[in-house]
Amino acid sequence: MSAIASAMSGHHSRCDDLFAAALAKVSQESWDDATSEFKRFHDEMELHMRGEETVLFPAFESTTGIQAGPTIVMRQEHDRMRPLLTQIEMALGARDPERVDGYTSTLLILMQQHNLKEENILYPMIDAALHDRAPELVAQLDLGRNPMRSQ
């Protein structure tokens, strides 16, 4: 796996782990902890999506000239996930397990499909097009540090 794909796939795994931790707290009805864990997940997801939208996708589009391809689809999927993240936070605040379950189930399906497309199609395309800039781009993504993340 090339540098960009490796960094982004690794961050997908980190986000998945944070999501699972939040869901575990929901299943225990530990609402304050669930809310805190979900905020960490939401912050990481936003860091990830923002990095793609402001660093990777523009670099790929600029290098390849592909403006109406897979990056448009990924942005649209990000736009579908963001309201769900907010709805989950609201449902957690209301301590409503049915709404939390419904929204998190929908988000999980979207994320799984999205990540598969990125990891199997888009990231390899990005790595192929931008291999010479990979270290610079991965550094710009700054996926190892998120100042919004609560420790």
Query: pLDDT by residue for the chain (151 residues), tens digit each?
Result: 689 999 999 999 999 999 999 999 999 999 999 999 999 999 999 999 999 999 999 999 999 999 888 999 999 999 999 999 999 999 999 999 999 999 999 999 999 999 999 999 999 999 999 999 999 999 999 887 543 433 3
**Residue 20: enclosing H or E segment and its boundaries?**
helix 3-27
Cα gap 58→122, rounded to integer Å:
13
Using one digit for the tens of pLDDT, what is the confidence trace for 109-122?
999 999 999 999 99
Cα dihedral value 47, 50, 51, 53, nearest 10? 160
Cα 132 to Cα 129: distance, rounded to the nearest angstrom: 8
Question: pLDDT at position 88, please?
Answer: 98
Predicted local confidence at residue 68, as pLDDT: 85
Provide the 8-state DSSP code for 95.
Answer: T
pLDDT per position as a tens digit, 78-105: 999 999 999 999 999 999 999 999 999 9
Domain boundaries, the chain: 3-141
For residue 18, what are its two tokens?
């944070």
Report the top-level CATH class of 3-141: mainly alpha
DSSP state of 119: I
Query: Alpha helix locations (H) across the chain?
Result: 3-27, 31-51, 57-64, 70-93, 97-117, 123-130, 134-141
